[in-house]
Amino acid sequence: MKNLSNKKSNRSLMPWVLVLVISMMIISALPNLYPNNTIIKITADGPTISASKVTQLLAQAELPAQEVSALYKTGEIRVLLENPTLSVKAQALLQNKLEIDNVTVHSEATTPAWLQSLNLAPLKLGLDLNGGVLFVLKVETDKALDERLEKLRVVAKDYRIEHKLRGIKIGPIVEHRIAITAAHAQPSNLTRFKQALKQDYPNIVILEEKYKTHSQWLLSFDEESQKKMATQAVDQAISTLRSRIEQLGITEAVTQRQGKHYIRIELPGVQDPAEAKRLIGATAQLSFHALKTQGGQSVNYKNGGTVKLNPLPIFTGSDIESAQASRDESGQPLVQLMLSPAGGEKMRQFSRKNVGKPMSTLYGEYHTNKAQEVVKKQEVISVATIQQVLSRQFSITGLGTMQQAQELAMILRAGSLQAPITIVEEQTIGPSLGEQNIKNGFNALKLGLAITLLFMLFCYGRLGAVAVISLLINLVCLLGLMSLLPGVVLTLPGIAGLVLTIGMAVDTNVIIFERVRDEIKLGARAVSALKHGYDQAMSSIIDANLTTMITALVLLGVGYGPVKGFAITLTLGILTSLFSGVLVSSYLSPLFIHKNNVTKQQQVNKKGARHA
């Protein structure tokens, strides 16, 4: 009796749970009724620009504005065009006519405040629907390996000088190897040299070649270490690029590995590809070094001449926790740095031992030369004397313009790259094309939905109405779930996934309703047939959806871009289809069947009364 009462209690509680879940999905889907606006912001450093002048310039260029407003507190002008797809054209026009650079395009939410307070936002649109830029980047892992070898080469030269090991010549890096030639050297010198390198770098491989007049060693990292370095370089590049994209304020970006050495970046909604390309592809590196009077690494000084540095840095950009651009008392640009606790400890220990001695700031950046080769340019941007023991917070100067300081601060906040990256593919999709894709995609969705609903109503009558309601709930739940989950982006193939979800959701109802028909043909009552129909159809429904789910998960794991967008929609669509097609319809169907039985009974009673 106790188990029976528990089942009845659970049965009576389940409809309220379904109502709660559906209500939550409806609320999370509501922001999609309020699409974001594309706003042009104008900020003038010099004389104030009037809103009427901006309106006049746009009207003359046949770019009518829906709204132009001025914020007098900040001196900013906001422009909302009647056709948002022309925002880039309007931006270029205003920059040219007003002769200012601070004209930017932003996406602004129009969602009501109460929805924003719940952290709800419209569904994020992919590159093919919102327009934007696609980059495919190649991580030059070979350059990262050569940079490690260069440090090893400089350390080997310093060790040779420090211990006065004569007769040993250290050559340049050729084919990822360092050639070391030993002529007329004492065997003990060679042994000491080899032991010192192996002690500091246990993962190096030394191939010895002996000739009549000399011996030659070829130094390189072992194969396992090289693979590990390449993997780390790509992983670190992905992490750094994601941080840089966040600094740009692009929240719908997709950054993922493509193959072994390539990274795919999709930037939906980006209106200025050149700016994104310049900042994402920047390879600035910052490190701090002690100066050396003997040996070391010779580097050009920014103001002319050369400086000898200890090749091993005190700390690098990876130790920087935050960086902010500002100006000093004389108005010169600088970057204020905050180091991590580990970086602060390194700085504290070094400065304590070297008060009164100089410390240099080394700036490095990769670029492509005329021969289309990726080369690294390094220069010392400042040499400062350590006046006192330093800790986690200090500043660097000698950065040129304020814009350069701001860009360097942004790159340092996001992290520097271990390996250079080159853009091997770039595609720009205009917002007008994305708008047409949305229109065509949703027209297909409406057509498919309408035909499916009519078919279900025609074939199954009242049960078809149950399928219609379940299908509409399924779409609302799917949109709500996609809007709620972070990282889910709707693409054009994703709309195809929505259309496919309609068929899958209806397929669940078709299997159940056909089972119900079979039970009725065998003489079962409607309510009993309905119960048996749901019970007997469950195994077929689970098998069909499980096999589709496996395929969707495989696509989700190995797919890129549009393929992944389709897989996400398909995966979530399977879950919502099971929810609406099984749970929701199982509670709606008895209501319609019961109403149908009552109507038939009333008709029978009326006929009996007439005969009486």
Residue 567: predicted pLDDT: 86
Residue 1: predicted pLDDT: 47
CA atoms within 13 A on the CB side of 103: 18
**Mean local confidence (pLDDT), 294-309:** 77
Residue 605: predicted pLDDT: 42
Q: How far apart are CA 147 and CA 376, in angstroms?
A: 10
**Nearest of 507, 495, 506, 483 to residue 569 by alpha carbon:** 495
Instruction: Name the one residue in this structure whose structure tokens are 């900020």.
Output: 43
Residue 398: predicted pLDDT: 62
Domain edges within the chain: 33-122, 142-224, 282-427, 430-611
Contact 596, 526 (CB under 8 A): yes
Q: For the structural domain made of 33-122, what CATH number should be given?
A: 3.30.70.330
Contact 321, 343 (CB under 8 A): yes
Tens of pLDDT, residue by residue over 170-211, are 777 777 787 777 765 566 666 777 777 777 777 777 777 766
**Nearest of 288, 405, 295 to residue 350 by alpha carbon:** 288
pLDDT greater at residue 72 or residue 512: 512
Residue 248: predicted pLDDT: 61
Q: How far is CA 548 from CA 133, 475, 536, 542, in A?
A: 32, 18, 20, 10
Using the predicted structure, report yes or no on whether residue 604 has a pLDDT greater than 50: no
- What tokens appear for 213 in the block? 């007049």
Question: Please, which residues bridge with residue 429 across strands?
Answer: 132
Per-range mean pLDDT, top range of 19-28, 169-178, 272-281, 340-349: 19-28
| φ, ψ at 367 (rounded to 5°) | -150, 165
Instruction: Please state which CATH class domain 282-427 belongs to.
Output: alpha beta
Answer whether 33-122 and 282-427 agree in fold.
no
B/e letters for 445-475, b = 16+ CB within 10 Å, e = fewer, are beeebeebbeebeeebeebbbbbbebbebbb
Beta strands in 247-345 (DSSP E): 254-258, 262-268, 285-290, 297-300, 306-309, 315-316, 320-327, 333-339
Using the predicted structure, report yes or no on whether residue 600 has a pLDDT greater than 50: no
Share of the chain above pLDDT 90, in %: 0
Tens of pLDDT, residue by residue over 325-369, are 777 777 777 777 777 777 778 888 888 888 888 888 787 766 565
Contact 117, 102 (CB under 8 A): no
Tens of pLDDT, residue by residue over 528-569, are 877 887 778 888 888 888 888 898 888 887 776 677 778 888
Query: Residue type at 408?
Result: L
Q: How far apart are CA 362 and CA 42, in angstroms?
A: 36
- What is the rounded average pLDDT for all residues in the chain? 76
Q: How far apart are CA 236 and CA 232, in angstroms?
A: 6
Residue 187: predicted pLDDT: 62
Tens of pLDDT, residue by residue over 401-419, are 776 677 667 666 655 566 7
Q: Say which CATH topology domain 142-224 has.
A: Hypothetical Protein Ta0175; Chain: A, domain 2 (3.90.1070)
Share of the chain above pLDDT 70, in %: 79
Q: How far apart are CA 406 and CA 399, in angstroms?
A: 10
Residue 353: predicted pLDDT: 84
* Residue 570 parent element (H or E): helix 561-578
Residue 594: predicted pLDDT: 57
Residue 4: predicted pLDDT: 45
| φ, ψ at 149 (rounded to 5°) | -65, -35
Residue 609: predicted pLDDT: 38
Q: What is the value of pTM for the model shown?
A: 0.62
Q: Is the dihedral of CA 6, 7, 8, 14 positive or negative?
A: positive
Residue 260: predicted pLDDT: 81
Tens of pLDDT, residue by residue over 216-248, are 777 788 888 888 878 877 887 787 777 667 666
Pairing verdict, β 124-125 and 489-490 = parallel
Residue 607: predicted pLDDT: 42
Q: For the structural domain made of 430-611, what CATH number should be given?
A: 1.20.1640.10
Instruction: Name the one residue in this structure whose structure tokens are 């980047």.
Output: 137
pLDDT-based confidence at residue 388 (cuts at 50, 70, 90): confident
Using the predicted structure, report yes or no on whether residue 602 has a pLDDT greater than 60: no
**DSSP character string of 203-253:** TEEEEEEE-SS-EEEEEEE-HHHHHHHHHHHHHHHHHHHHHHHHHTT--S-
What letter would DSSP give residue 584? I
Residue 430: predicted pLDDT: 65
